[in-house]
Structure 1
Amino acid sequence: MPFEAPARSAAETTADEINARFGPKDACGVIAHALTHHGRIALVSSFGAESVVLLHMAASIDRAVPVLFVNTGMLMAETPAYQARVAERLGLSNLQVVKPDPVALLTRDTDGLLHLADTDGCCALRKTEPLARALAPFDGWITGRKRIHGGQRVALDLAETDGARLKLNPLAHWSSREIATYMAAHDLPRHPLEAKGFTSIGCAPCTSPARPGESPRAGRWRGADKTECGIHFINGKAVRT
């Protein structure tokens, strides 16, 4: 029998259409199209070093866009403070702070030291599982991932799938210079930890400044064979680069 390729899912077909329709730098076009044509879409933001660009774009289109911010309970103090500042500045009216299940914390990380023994388990408990619950009502989500981050991100498309859900990376093709130019043009607030050398900002125990010439994400889980927290998937599997 001749080989028959498996049928494309609705999300895969939509992702293909978006990748074909929009230019690599048309981030606002991708966001506007998703918010008006593809059901319930959430923007997931870490409120990290570059996050304000995507947040500004989305707020310029619809300030009521659902913005999911995962507060793991182990973030550096500067990040929640920056989140509040940016949300007020942009007028975000549907910010949803996502937190770990307190019962799960008591049973799986009683002393707050799980990250020392099992970084993947800690990320699952404090970030991956809470976000999965928060995303359950949505048809798709928007991320701030970019090819310049390296690893498996170097091949990112504008649109992909997360199971049956649409997943969008509007800034996938943007360079560091373009990000900085956009921030300056719109006078957007910088994360205070940038001035201390943090180019990718996660939880306090697992984040360090990037050294000159290093990848922007070099300071995440430094010294470990780990570069992703696990919230990003390819064909249903967590990305590990």
Structure 2
Amino acid sequence: MTSPAQATSHVPDRIDTSPRFTPEEVAALNARFDGVEAQDMLAAVLAEGIAQGRTGRVAVVSSFGAESAVLLHLVAQADRNTPVLFLDTHKHFPETLAYRDQLIGKLGLTDLRVLEPDAAVVAKKDETGLRWSWDPDGCCEIRKVIPLARAMAGFDASITGRKGFQSSTRAGLPRFEIDTADAAGRLKINPLANWPKDRLEAYFEAHGLPRHPLVAQGYPSIGCAPCTSKVAPGEDPRSGRWKGWDKTECGIHVPGHGDQASEVGQSSPLPPGYDPVF
């Protein structure tokens, strides 16, 4: 006869592979915060946790680009200790790195985490450093997608600075969504999804926030230096990114709300040690 203790010892371990968030939870969050100011929403999310008591499992992902100061200021007002993840691709404008350090110091953010590509992977897959010129998806995969996927393993949700007006592929962006580029079902939070450009400008002025120095030179959207071009007045703010390529996102964000990943740089998160074949 098997004792209760013996029966318990033979119960196999189970790994919970269920998504971190369900569509029902996301719908409830969008309903709860409908019409709530971004500052109040962020304060609630960072203080209470998002759902199921997940306090402390949220990180901001920031490029320290043209409009990043607004989101980072809002986050700093809610909780200066919120982790801020920055992907140092080793291809940034020097002005972006200087701006990053300026903003972190001014806003008093205490937990900047600089993510870098794996040196061995770069040496193997981008020996010349010119992969961006013939395979921008592969370059983004190495320098952005893989490092962020590994960093996000410790979090349930990311806060982004995406806005609906930035491009046609971001129109109708919700405040809360399941990250469709992430098989773990993490949450993506877009506090500024419905902010128009003039509201961002007013926020910069009201709070005396410094501007990215390249904005005045005609760069309304700023990424890696080789893949960022100036934009003429009236053009889509993101039209200067990967100009000449059929590419609208680096792979961290899947183009078009609810679309499935379709580019090399928009695949599922990669486990440690994964070696993609390009």
Asked if TM exceeds 0.5, the reply is yes
Counterpart amino acid of 1:120? D
- 2:26 is matched with 15
2 CA distance for matches of 1:218 and 1:206? 11
Per-residue CA deviation, residues 3-32 of structure 1 (Å, 9 max, x unaligned), is: xxxxx9734233211211223562112212
Query: Among 68, 77, 88, which residue is 1:71 paired with?
Result: 88
For the residue of structure 2 that corresponds to 1:86, the secondary structure is helix
Tell me, yes or no, if the aligned pair for 1:230 and 1:239 is still in contact at 8 Å: no
Pairing 1:186-225 to 2, within 5 Å after superposition: 186-225=207-246
CA distance in 1, matches of 2:113, 2:22: 25
2:102 counterpart (66, 85, 89): 85
Cα gap change, 1:10 to 1:127, in 2 (>3 Å)? closer
Query: What CA distance in whole angstroms lies between the structure 1 residues aligned with 2:115 and 2:156?
Result: 18
One of 257, 261, 270 as aligned partner of 1:238: 261
Q: Work out whether residues 67 and 94 of structure 1, in 8 Å CA contact, stay in contact via their aligned partners in 2.
A: yes
Which whole-Å CA distance do the structure 2 matches of 1:211 and 1:201 have between them? 14
**Alignment check: 8 A CA contact 1:69 1:96 kept:** yes
Q: 2:171 maps to what in 1?
A: 154
In structure 1, runs of 5+ residues without a counterpart are 1-7
- AA paired with 2:84? V
Pairing partner for 1:185 from 187, 206, 214: 206
Q: Structure 1 pair 25/173, CA: closer, same or farther in 2 (3 Å)?
A: farther
Tell me how far apart the structure 2 counterparts of residues 151 and 239 of structure 1 sit (CA, whole Å).
Answer: 17
Q: What is residue 131 of structure 1 aligned with on the other side?
A: 148
How many pairs were matched up? 234
Aligned runs of 1:45-60 on 2, under 5 Å?
Answer: 45-60=62-77
Change (3 A) 1:77 1:185: same
CA distance in 2, matches of 1:66, 1:171: 18
Q: Distance in 1 between matches of 2:36 and 2:218?
A: 27
Query: CA-to-partner distance for each residue in 1:17-70, whole Å, 9 max, x for gaps?
Result: 121122356211221222122220000000000000000000001100000011
Relative to 1, partners in 2 of residues 1:235 and 1:175: Cα closer, same or farther, differing over 3 Å? closer
Give aligned-pair identity as a percent: 48
Closer, same or farther: CA 24–112 of 1 in aligned 2, 3 Å = farther
Give the whole-Å Cα distance in 2 for the aligned partners of 1:85 and 1:207: 22
Q: Which has the larger radius of gyration?
A: 2
Contact kept in structure 2, 1:43 and 1:66, CA below 8 Å: yes
Q: CA deviation at 1:93?
A: 0.3
**Paired AA for residue 86 in structure 1:** L
Q: Which residue of 1 is the match for residue 274 of structure 2?
A: none
Partner of 2:79: 62
CA distance in 2, matches of 1:49, 1:194: 6
Deviation at 1:239, TM superposition (A): 6.6
Which of 41, 49, 55 is matched with 1:37 structurally?
Answer: 49
Aligned-pair RMSD on alpha carbons? 1.8
Secondary structure of 1:155's counterpart equals: coil
Give the SS at the match of 2:162.
coil
Match for 2:116 among 66, 90, 99?
99
State the 1:209 CA deviation. Answer: 1.1
Q: Judging changes above 3 Å, is the alpha-carbon distance between structure 1 residues 175 and 236 closer, same or farther for their aligned structure 2 residues?
A: closer
- The one-letter code of the counterpart of 2:49 is H
Query: Residue 14 of structure 2 aligns with which residue?
Result: none
- Over 4 Å off, 4+ runs: none
Alpha-carbon distance in structure 2 between the residues aligned to 1:72 and 1:92: 21
| Structure 2 counterpart SS, 1:31 | helix
TM-score of the aligned structures, taking structure 2 as reference length: 0.80
Equivalents in 1 of 2:262, 2:189: separation in Å?
16
The one-letter amino acid of 1:69's match is F
